[in-house]
């Protein structure tokens, strides 16, 4: 895909610079002449949206950090004084908090799009793995960011999540103490979380660069799943993808603005408007919505795993839950090798397509279960739903490749497009290769 560059500096300064640091050439090749498949649909715009979301979170975050005080005694108040007394402070704080939610909303669509169109299959395994690393870093960043306002849910969420680490055999308690900077969640925890919350987004930005680099080496997938074969299959990034991504971004921003300005508290939890209090436990400790599916998986394991007919416990329920939860994310790393089908796009996999949508619905249902207390009918539902989650990766993906009879695929992207429309309407501009 990455052929020779078509960048042609015209000005004297452009030529001088190009001979020394060809930054303009890199940008031109990456975002102007870069060839993209001509048949990408709206789901392919979320990569661009996510990049802008990252930038938006970093910019709002840096300004908020100018007003925020990472001290357990005043952190809560400093956030609310920012909202009340700083010009545009309320908008800024909501934009950052709602932004985190919508960042996850966009990343989930991006991940599901990748799963549907087989974007993880060779030669894009590294591209996919880098994406999962970004997802993990996002989760760590979001969790630590949620602790900073030092409300009740911040405090107790930190209590629960750092508790996961104490489940690790032998070293668990030590790891947890290092994480907390003490024996319990306190000022030291808040300080180090603030520091890490500032650091991690820049690590994400670094991995995003690798992610985009890997993407530009292999090229994008497309809804047909057929690789780019000729110049007719692709169009230049600018203006085609640029204007389309811009439109998608603005539509996305309308949704975001709706929440920021009209329902700023909808995506959060009311208890976080109560200052952290180590003596009062909230009735239900629940994470933000985007962690709920994983929270359900964590609590689905309420049994010890041991050697049958003996009293020996190999994995107690706490460790089991933590393993299941981390496993539900770690399994994404293996997806390129778990899927045995040679067909990339689910459009041509009639059986897998059904399982894919089942998986989507099950994931949303897991999210709902995550918001319910671990009691009564919810526990068996959590177990069943968790089983379906893992079954999709460990049973459906490996086995379906052998049994499924895929539909016939088009010979090329151009074939697929022209077959649908009949004929080319005009001479398409040819992308550089």
Note the residues at the interface with another protein (CB under 8 A).
38-39, 77, 80-81, 83-84, 90-91, 94, 235, 239-240, 243-244, 246-247, 250-251, 253-254, 257-258, 260-266, 270-271, 273-274, 283, 353-354, 357-358, 361-362, 364-365, 368, 372, 375-378, 381, 417-418, 420-421, 423-429
Q: How far is the CB of 173 from another protein (least distance, A)?
A: 32
| Residue number, 76 or 193, with CB nearest to another protein | 76
| Residue number, 66 or 427, with CB nearest to another protein | 427
Q: How far is the CB of 12 from another protein (least distance, A)?
A: 32
Q: How far is CA 307 from the centre of its chain?
A: 37
| Residue number, 11 or 279, with CB nearest to another protein | 279
Q: How far is the CB of 23 from another protein (least distance, A)?
A: 27
Q: How far is the CB of 384 from another protein (least distance, A)?
A: 10
Q: How far is the CB of 211 from another protein (least distance, A)?
A: 25
Q: How far is the CB of 9 from another protein (least distance, A)?
A: 25
- Which token pair is 423? 């004929």
| Residue number, 333 or 356, with CB nearest to another protein | 356
| Residue number, 287 or 320, with CB nearest to another protein | 287
| Residue number, 85 or 173, with CB nearest to another protein | 85
């Amino acid at each position: 895909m990455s052929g020779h560059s078509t960048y042609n500096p015209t000005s004297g300064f452009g030529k001088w610079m190009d001979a020394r640091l060809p930054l303009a050439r890199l940008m031109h090749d990456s975002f102007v002449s870069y060839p993209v498949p001509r048949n990408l649909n709206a789901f392919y715009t979320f990569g661009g949206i996510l990049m802008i979301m990252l930038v938006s979170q970093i910019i709002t975050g840096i300004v908020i950090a100018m007003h925020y005080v990472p001290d357990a005694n005043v952190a809560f108040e400093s956030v609310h004084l920012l909202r009340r007394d700083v010009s545009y402070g309320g908008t800024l704080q909501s934009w950052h908090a709602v932004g985190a939610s919508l960042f996850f909303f966009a990343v989930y669509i991006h991940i599901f799009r990748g799963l549907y169109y087989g974007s993880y299959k060779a030669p894009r395994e590294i591209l996919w793995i880098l994406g999962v690393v970004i997802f993990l870093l996002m989760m760590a960043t979001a969790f630590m960011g949620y602790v900073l306002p030092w409300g009740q849910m911040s405090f107790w969420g930190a209590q629960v999540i750092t508790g996961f680490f104490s489940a690790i055999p032998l070293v668990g308690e030590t790891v947890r103490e290092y994480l907390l900077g003490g024996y319990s969640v306190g000022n030291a925890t808040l300080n180090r979380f603030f520091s890490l919350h500032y650091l991690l987004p820049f690590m994400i930005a670094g991995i995003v660069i690798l992610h985009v680099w890997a993407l530009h080496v292999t090229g994008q997938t497309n809804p047909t799943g057929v690789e780019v074969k000729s110049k007719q299959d692709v169009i230049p990034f600018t203006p085609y993808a640029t204007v389309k991504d811009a439109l998608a971004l603005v539509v996305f921003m309308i949704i975001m603005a709706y929440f920021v300005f009209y329902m700023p508290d909808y995506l959060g939890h009311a208890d976080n408007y109560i200052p952290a209090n180590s003596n009062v436990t909230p009735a239900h400790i629940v994470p933000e919505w985007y962690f709920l599916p994983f929270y359900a998986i964590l609590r689905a394991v309420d049994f010890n795993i041991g050697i049958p007919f003996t009293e020996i416990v190999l994995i107690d329920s706490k460790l089991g839950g933590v393993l299941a939860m981390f496993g539900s994310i770690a399994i994404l790393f293996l997806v390129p090798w778990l899927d045995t089908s040679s067909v990339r796009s689910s459009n041509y996999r009639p059986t897998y397509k059904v399982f894919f949508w089942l998986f989507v619905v099950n994931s949303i249902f897991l999210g709902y279960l995550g918001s319910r207390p671990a009691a009564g009918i919810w526990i068996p539902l959590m177990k069943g739903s968790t089983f379906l989650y893992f079954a999709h990766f460990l049973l459906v993906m490996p086995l379906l490749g052998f049994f499924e009879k895929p539909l016939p695929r088009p010979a090329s992207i151009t074939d697929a497009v022209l077959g649908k429309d009949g004929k080319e309407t005009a001479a398409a501009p040819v992308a550089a290769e």
